[in-house]
Amino acid sequence: MNETNAAPLTQETGLASHRASSEDAEPVSRPGALLQTIEAAASTGTPDGQEAYEQGTALKNVGLFRQAAEHFEKAAQDPTYALKGFAQMGLSLKKSGKQEEAVAAFRRALQIPSTSSKEQVQILYLLGRTLESLGRIPEALEAYRWLRREAPQYRDVAMRIESLSTRRMHRDNR
């Protein structure tokens, strides 16, 4: 299952109308050209949260995950985009191989006061999967157990908890 399409919070929202490549700009066909276009647009002023989020989404859509993460971090400075910015930043960092930084971004998203229960569950799942991939089993179990309290039937969480608990017990009994 593809984590980037885990749920609405973590899906592409369609907001990336490639504002940087508007009607009066040439169509952008290469990721490098898209990056230059977005950076040129960003250098003309401080982007607001929506603009930074759209730029991050455009970069993520063409596989420029590291650069996308930078734009999502800028977007997260706007309280309106904090949750989505940090969640997408975490996904982008994870895709670019920066798992530890992804964990930090997901944890920052969980600290946003306006996070709904549904959004919290989605982020906890991504956090748990990332921690699991890093081999940080106790922390992954903690995230999954928190998630299970919020949404007992969410995806494969019960199976993951059982699997990780069994693996942990076998490791501890050696």
Distances in Å between the Cα of 1 and the Cα atoms of 12, 51, 103, 152, 155 are 16, 30, 20, 19, 10
70 has a pLDDT exceeding 50: yes
Domains belonging to the chain, first-starting first, are 3-172 (1.25.40.10)
What contacts 116, CB < 8 A, 6 or more positions away? none
Q: Which two tokens stand for residue 92?
A: 């982008």
Q: Is the dihedral of CA 122, 59, 51, 70 positive or negative?
A: positive
What contacts 41, CB < 8 A, 6 or more positions away? 19, 20, 47, 55
The string of pLDDT tens digits covering residues 94-118 is: 999 999 999 999 999 999 999 999 9
Residues 167 and 174: their CA atoms lie apart, in Å, by 11
Amino acid 35: pLDDT:
65
Q: Which helix (H) or strand (E) holds 145?
A: helix 137-150
In the chain, the percentage of residues whose pLDDT exceeds 90 is 67
**Mean of all residue pLDDT scores within the chain:** 83
Amino acid 6: pLDDT:
44
Amino acid 167: pLDDT:
79
The string of pLDDT tens digits covering residues 24-65 is: 334 445 666 666 666 655 555 566 999 999 999 999 999 999
